[in-house]
Amino acid sequence: MKVYDLIIAGAGPAGLTAGIYAARARLDVVLYEKMLPGGQVATTDLVENYPGFPKGISGSELMARMAEQAEKFNLNVESKSVENISRRGNLCLVKTEDGEGHPSKTVIVATGAEPKNLGVPGETEFKGRGISYCATCDGPLYQGKKVAVVGGGDSAVEEALFLTRFAEKVYLIHRRDKLRATQLLQNRTFENKKIEFVWDSVVTEIRGGKSLESAVIKNVKTEQLSELGVDGLFVYIGTVPNSDLFEEDIERDNRGFIITDQDMATSIEGVFAAGDVRSKLLYQIATAVGDGATAAFAAEKFIEEG
């Protein structure tokens, strides 16, 4: 059976960068991606802080360019989901959705993270009928309507600003009275007349008929419940890592993000992690790209020293 030098799981910025470096270094590499290349960034309207694009660039265009660059170096990208990764003797074994096991000398896990759910009654029922986790995808459906965004981080604030292009009113519901988002984004939000803040509050229930009609909000300081009439509710309360792939224990932090050393090596020999699936200080495209490059180089060294 064919043994790869490197298998990469995930085609977001970390995986594609690792792929570009590995293919350019002429490793025998394959990248498995369960959906289309691009990862979470592809659903971002405007990326303003990735160096090299002074006017900003749309997330989907940036990712299309990364994929094109990987293709130029003949990176082999296959549309398959990775289901399981394990260590077998001195090799890693990567099982894909078709049940096949693919042996490889090294693996880079770049499977990213996905949006956290609110976990309240009505959320599942109204998914796609008012509840959304992607303003770029669904925002235009709310032209002239009222929407709410839940969360206080960069994602919530950025997407609330984006939604003001369509909605007549955007409520930002946050569980504290201070935002977590960076100051620049906070200032823009405070200046936007369409955004109204609902501080110290959490959503406890989603209600509606055929589609979403309101959210029940609890003020966490007064315990008072109220009903907020909205047509759509966008959830941006952080992410959970796609890190449940391993047969043996892999070291993870208390939120499930994979712990690596500075060279992206995990606690399993030959397995590296890069991007949003990794436990780190800053979750950005720029840091994902750096992780991907380091992981590919470290994998190459690991093979050489093998």
Active site residues: 134, 137-138
CB 127 → ligand NAP: shortest distance, Å? 17
> 5 with 78: CB under 8 angstroms?
no
Q: Residue 287 and residue 291: Cα distance in Å, rounded?
A: 6
Closer residue to ligand NAP in complex, CB, 107/157: 157
Q: Which is nearer to ligand NAP, 95 or 116 (CB)?
A: 116
Q: Of 236, 233, 237, whose CA–CA distance to 211 is shortest?
A: 233
Residue 236 or 257: which CB sits closer to ligand NAP? 236
**SS3 string of the chain?**
CCCEEEEEECCCHHHHHHHHHHHHCCCCEEEECCCCCCHHHHHCCCECCCCCCCCCECHHHHHHHHHHHHHHCCCEEECCCEEEEEEECCEEEEEECCCCEEEEEEEEECCCEEECCCCCCCCCCCECCCEECCHHHHHHHHCCCEEEEECCCHHHHHHHHHHCCCCCEEEEECCCCCCCCCHHHHHHHHHCCCEEEECCEEEEEEEECCCEEEEEEEECCCCCEEEEECCEEEECCCEEECCCCECCCCCECCCCCECCCCCCECCCCCEEECHHHECCCCCCHHHHHHHHHHHHHHHHHHHHHC
Q: How far is the CB of 176 from ligand NAP (least distance, A)?
A: 5
- Min separation Cβ 169 and ligand NAP, Å: 20
- Residues that bind ligand NAP in the complex, under the rule CB under 6 A: 49, 150-156, 158, 175-176, 180, 202, 236-239, 283-284
State in angstroms the smallest separation of the CB of 40 from ligand NAP. 9
Using the minimum distance from each CB to ligand NAP, give the nearer residue, 160 or 299. 160
Least CB distance from residue 75 to ligand NAP, whole Å?
A: 26
Q: Which is nearer to ligand NAP, 77 or 237 (CB)?
A: 237
Alpha-carbon distance 256 to 165, whole Å?
A: 35
CA distance 61 to 59: 6
The distance of closest approach from Cβ of residue 112 to ligand NAP in the complex, given in angstroms and rounded to an integer, is: 11
Shorter beta-carbon distance to ligand NAP: residue 9 or 161: 161
Closest residue to ligand NAP in the complex (CB): 153
